[in-house]
């Protein structure tokens, strides 16, 4: 049985690209990019895998700063994860290798995971948006 | 492939002509929920435990209701019921065109 | 040469679930593929805010119909890790047995769909005929054909008792004979080989760098199977990681056929070694902490990230499904392929879009 090792490393967004480059040179590959909203803002976890070991980079984005550089130059598959995070959380990712500009995920409500309240049912949301653009804009930015 | 094709061309079809031939249910399959009004004490634990909220219990009125379309036949209520009033039968829920709850009203509590 | 955009999906006979691909075609050669997903997005990850961690097992199982049991199992393993619980050994063996039954049923389903994709409808029907027999076995042991509903935090909800086990194993032996007949056709029939050999070659470096998982990765020569981590009873039941080196669609089909037949052997071994004992431990308290759990679904490695803060609702539940990891490989395979090969290539990564979109 192979021991299931995993490590978590905290990192800042300025050190991200350099560290990802080191990991790529070390033979690691990207397994997942996950995000969660917490009290401080948005927390990103970049999960790397090599020979059954897991290495996670934890990136905490504070408050309104929801921009990260893309790692898709080193790992092409990251483009898919980053597009998904953009479509679900409203995260801005710079320089994605493949940029769908918000069209990857079709949802009735924009950025459904980004708002803190549960999204309204699809029918109500679209009719509400038609009635009042201000409400729709407020929903989008919440 | 020719062997299989010939063999099965000569055999009876595997598919059954449902609904003209009734389906033989498999024992222990999780199907429709059966409720026994006689043993139920209307404690409401099944309603709390139901993951979809299909069961509704009105304690004072001794009413127990289930929304058949919400029930996922998971059996959580069956496991938790203290009086064993609930059981899962193997038959499938029949087709329906309206969405309403099935109500059961228990007998009045005997005066102590 | 002028480019045309051919929309593929969301409704297409070859797709088990809806995905949309805009294929940019130049005279029958696909130049680029642009995916668009979200047809089956149900926002299940946010349901943790409403359902407590015990009830959420039912939701986790319903992320996908084909890989449902292993989703439930991974979720329960994650919560057990957070609560420092250990499921009893018998429960682990039962989870292994049901997990392998789930793998057999998924691979038989895929074999049928692949036969349908190449136009071999008769073989599609035969694969699913064998799968029906397995679904009856699953219904007899778990109560449900597709959604097993047997995993819970702390163990399993049902047992395969000593009176039911020999009959189940005998039926599985008979199903294995049928399945072997079907896989022989997939591996040796000339019309299938014509459609699969040399189509969609994924080199070893590409497969590794693009983040592929599961049979897609193993058919290109990389030996990686999460069952080697030894979760559930896999540390005590011997199994071999199946790999091939050619990396084309035929190799992926062959890997799945071999895994299918190996699963029958794993079930036999697990049933022989299964100890007596409890099937669940009592769960009290709430989970706290965070963990990442990985298991091997039929389509590959699934990564679950669970965060809990001591209340009865989990804080965050994130699933990285194997199909999501294989989509970049699909986009690469589709570049430069013939339009007629698109159904084969889309199916060869075994897309499970309802998993991907949760």
Domain containing B30 equals 24-105
- By Cβ distance, the residue of C55, C136, C181 closest to B26 is C136
Q: Do C139 and B88 touch (CB under 8 A)?
A: no
Do A76 and A118 share a structural domain?
no
- Shared domain for A43 and A94, answered yes or no, is yes
**Are A45 and A115 members of one domain?**
no
Give the DSSP H/E element, type plus range, for residue C188: helix C165-188
| pLDDT, tens digit, 9 for 90 and up, residues C31-64 | 888 888 888 888 888 888 888 888 888 888 888 8
Is residue A119 domain-shared with residue A100, that is, in the same domain?
no
How would you classify the pairing of strands C151-152 and C29-36? unpaired
Structural domain includes residue A70? yes
- The CATH number given to whatever domain includes residue B43 is 3.30.70.3270
Please check whether residue B14 lies inside any domain of the structure. no
B72–C189 CB contact, under 8 Å: no
Specify the pLDDT at position A136. 40
A72 near C CB under 8 A = no
Question: What is the domain count for chain B?
Answer: 1
Nearest CA of chain A to the CA of C88: how many Å? 18
Residue A114 shares a structural domain with residue A94? no
Q: Does A39 touch chain C (CB under 8 A)?
A: no
| Cβ density class C257-293: b for 16+ within 10 Å, e for less | bbbbbbbbebbbbbbeebeeeebbeebeebbeebbbb
Q: Are A136 and A128 in contact (CB under 8 A)?
A: yes
Q: Indicate whether B95 belongs to any domain.
A: yes
Q: CA–CA distance from C267 to each of A111, C127, C296 (Å)?
A: 44, 20, 16
Tell me, yes or no, whether A1 lies in a domain. no
Domain assignment present for residue A30? The answer is yes
| Same structural domain, A98 and A32 | yes
Would B19 be classed as within a structural domain? no
pTM of the entire predicted model: 0.87
Domain that holds residue A64: 6-106
Q: Which CATH class is domain C4-349?
A: mainly alpha
CATH number at residue A41: 3.30.460.80
Distance from the Cα of B1 to chain C's closest Cα (Å) equals 6
- Residue A67 and residue A136 in one domain: no
pLDDT tens over chain A, length 142 residues: 455 677 888 888 788 888 888 888 888 888 888 888 877 778 888 888 888 888 888 888 877 667 788 888 888 888 888 888 888 887 788 887 777 777 777 777 777 776 544 444 544 333 443 444 444 444 444 3
Position B33 scores a pLDDT of 86
Tell if the CB–CB gap between B14 and C59 is shorter than 8 Å.
no
Residue A118: which of B62, C50, C266 has the closest Cα?
Answer: C50
Contacts of C208 in chain A (CB under 8 A): 29
CB–CB of B51 and C58 under 8 A? yes
**In the numeric block, which tokens belong to residue C24?**
């940019």
- Where does B1-112 show beta strands of DSSP type E? 33-35, 55-58, 63-66, 86-88, 102-105
Report yes or no on B3 lying in a domain: no
Q: Is there contact between B and A if contact means ≥3 C-beta pairs under 8 Å? A: no
Beta carbons of C140 and B27 less than 8 Å apart = yes
C339/C357 Cα distance (integer angstroms): 26
Q: Is residue A62 part of a domain?
A: yes
Give C21's contacts in chain A (Cβ within 8 Å). Answer: none
pLDDT at C139 over 60: yes
Q: How many domains does chain A have?
A: 2
Separation between Cα atoms, residue C315 and residue C302, nearest integer Å = 20
Answer whether A119 sits within 8 Å of C230, measured CB to CB: no
B29 lies within 8 A of chain C by CB: yes
CA pseudo-torsion sign C241, C74, C324, C60: positive
**H helix and E strand count, chain C:** 12, 8
Chain B residue at shortest CA distance from C190: B1
A97 and A56 within one domain: yes
**Tens place of pLDDT for every residue, chain B, 112 residues?**
777 878 888 888 888 888 788 888 888 888 888 888 888 888 888 888 888 888 888 888 788 888 888 888 888 888 888 888 888 888 887 787 888 777 877 766 555 4
Q: How far C162 CA sits from the closest chain A CA (Å)? A: 29
């Amino acid at each position: 049985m192979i021991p299931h090792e995993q490590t978590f490393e905290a990192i800042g967004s300025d050190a991200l690209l350099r560290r990802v480059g080191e990991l790529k040179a070390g033979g690691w590959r990207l397994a997942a990019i996950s995000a969660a909203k917490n009290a401080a803002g948005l927390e990103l976890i970049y999960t790397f895998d090599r020979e059954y070991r897991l290495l996670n980079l934890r990136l905490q984005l504070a408050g309104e700063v929801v921009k990260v550089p893309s790692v898709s130059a080193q790992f092409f598959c990251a483009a898919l994860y980053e597009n998904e995070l953009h479509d679900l959380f409203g995260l801005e990712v710079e320089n994605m290798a493949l940029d769908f500009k918000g069209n990857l995920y079709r949802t009735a409500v924009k950025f459904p995971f980004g708002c803190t309240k549960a999204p309204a049912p699809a029918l109500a949301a679209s009719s509400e948006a038609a009635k009042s653009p201000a409400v729709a804009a407020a929903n989008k930015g919440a | 492939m020719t062997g299989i094709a010939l063999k099965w061309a000569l055999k009876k079809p595997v598919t059954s002509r449902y609904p003209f031939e009734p389906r033989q249910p498999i024992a222990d399959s999780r199907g429709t929920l059966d409720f026994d009004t006689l043993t139920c004490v209307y404690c409401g634990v099944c309603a709390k435990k139901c993951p979809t909220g299909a069961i509704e219990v009105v304690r004072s009125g001794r009413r127990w209701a289930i929304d058949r379309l919400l029930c996922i036949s998971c059996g959580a209520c069956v496991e938790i019921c203290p009086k064993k009033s609930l059981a899962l039968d193997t038959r499938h829920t029949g087709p329906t065109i309206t969405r309403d709850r099935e109500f059961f009203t228990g007998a009045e509590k005997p005066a102590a | 040469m002028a480019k045309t955009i051919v929309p593929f999906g969301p409704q297409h006979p070859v797709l088990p679930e809806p995905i949309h691909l805009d294929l940019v075609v130049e005279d029958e050669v696909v130049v680029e593929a642009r995916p668009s997903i979200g047809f089956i997005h149900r926002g299940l990850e946010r349901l943790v805010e409403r359902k407590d961690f015990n009830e959420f097992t039912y939701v986790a199982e319903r992320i996908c119909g084909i890989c449902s049991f292993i989703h439930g199992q991974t979720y329960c393993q994650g919560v057990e890790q957070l609560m420092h619980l250990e499921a009893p050994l018998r429960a682990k063996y039962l989870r292994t047995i049901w997990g392998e039954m789930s793998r057999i049923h998924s691979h038989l389903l895929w074999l049928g769909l692949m036969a349908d994709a190449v136009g071999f409808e008769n073989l599609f029907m035969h694969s699913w005929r064998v799968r029906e027999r397995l679904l009856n076995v699953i219904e007899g042991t778990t109560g449900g054909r597709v959604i097993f509903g047997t995993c819970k935090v702390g163990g399993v909800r049902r047992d395969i008792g000593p009176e039911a086990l020999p009959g189940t194993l005998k039926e599985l032996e008979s199903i294995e004979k049928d399945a072997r007949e079907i896989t022989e056709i997939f591996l040796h029939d000339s019309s299938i080989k014509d459609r699969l050999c040399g189509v969609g070659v994924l080199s070893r470096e590409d497969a590794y760098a693009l983040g592929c998982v599961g049979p897609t990765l193993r058919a290109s020569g990389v030996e990686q199977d999460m069952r080697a981590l030894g979760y559930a009873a896999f540390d005590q039941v011997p199994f071999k990681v199946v790999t091939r080196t050619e990396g084309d669609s035929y190799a992926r089909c062959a890997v799945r056929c071999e895994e299918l037949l190996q699963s029958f052997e794993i079930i036999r071994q697990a049933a022989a070694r299964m100890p007596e004992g409890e099937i669940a431990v009592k769960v009290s308290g709430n989970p706290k902490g965070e963990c990442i759990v990985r298991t091997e679904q039929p389509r590959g490695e699934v990564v679950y990230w669970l965060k809990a803060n001591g209340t009865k609702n989990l804080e965050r539940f994130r699933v990285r499904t194997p199909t999501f990891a294989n989509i970049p490989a699909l986009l690469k395979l589709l570049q430069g392929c013939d339009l007629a090969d698109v159904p084969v290539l889309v199916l060869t990564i075994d897309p499970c879009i309802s998993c991907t979109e949760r």
